[in-house]
Structure 1
């Protein structure tokens, strides 16, 4: 269920799971943790752009798209959502509770670590 906290929309794990299961939902979901955290366990199919790299890609992200940001506990992803909101992105959400609250499928390894920006890499398969 979505909730607005400090001006940012937060979604819970059940809603995120529904979004992931809906192939018609084109929301971009981005993990913003560090590579080691991502490799240790992440939501399958979700790309990684570490929080500190997001400012480098602001001009290349599509401000008309909807985004959900994921981190370990919800703090870093909240800061990324807040940063993008202040940069003109209206449809940004924080995954409340982060991976600590995720009880669905997790995979290990460097599946989709974004090292050179390509918008196609952000899409779910």
Structure 2
């Protein structure tokens, strides 16, 4: 069951697993950790935009889309979700447990580091 924190919906692990199984175009799931953290294990097929790059990429991101943000524990992704919400993104959610709570499949290495936000919509 989802809950809200500071106006941001928090997604639990079981709900995120269901979303990943459905493999729909939305929501767009983004990992906001650092490159080395991402390489050590990340959600399969999920792109990386390090938190510090979000401000420079947000203006090119589609505000009408739905997003879920992921980090190590859920704190950085929560802060990033709050930032995006302040920038006019209406449907941005946080994976509350972060990778510390993730007990599903992972990929390793540098799979998909986003250089241009338009990559998210292909």
Task: Classify the TM-score, shorter chain.
Answer: over 0.9
Q: CA deviation at 1:23?
A: 2.8
What's the TM-score once normalised by structure 2's chain length?
A: 0.95
The CA deviation at 1:107 is: 1.1
Partner of 2:7: 7
- Report Cα offsets for 1:37-83 as digits up to 9, x if no partner: 00000001000000000000111100000000000000000001000
RMSD (Å) for aligned C-alpha atoms = 1.3
Unaligned 5+ runs, structure 2: none
**Residue 102 of structure 1 aligns with which residue?**
102
The residue number in structure 2 matching 1:31 is: 31
- 15-24 or 66-75: which moved more? 15-24
- In 1, the alpha carbon distance for the partners of 2:23 and 2:47 equals 17
Aligned length: 122
Displacement over 3 Å in runs of 4+: none
Q: 1:123 to 1:22 in 2, by over 3 A?
A: farther
Residues 46 and 112 in structure 2, CA contact (< 8 A), matched pair in contact too? yes
The runs of 5 or more residues in structure 1 that have no matched partner are: none
2:116 corresponds to which residue? 117
Match of 2:47 in 1: 47
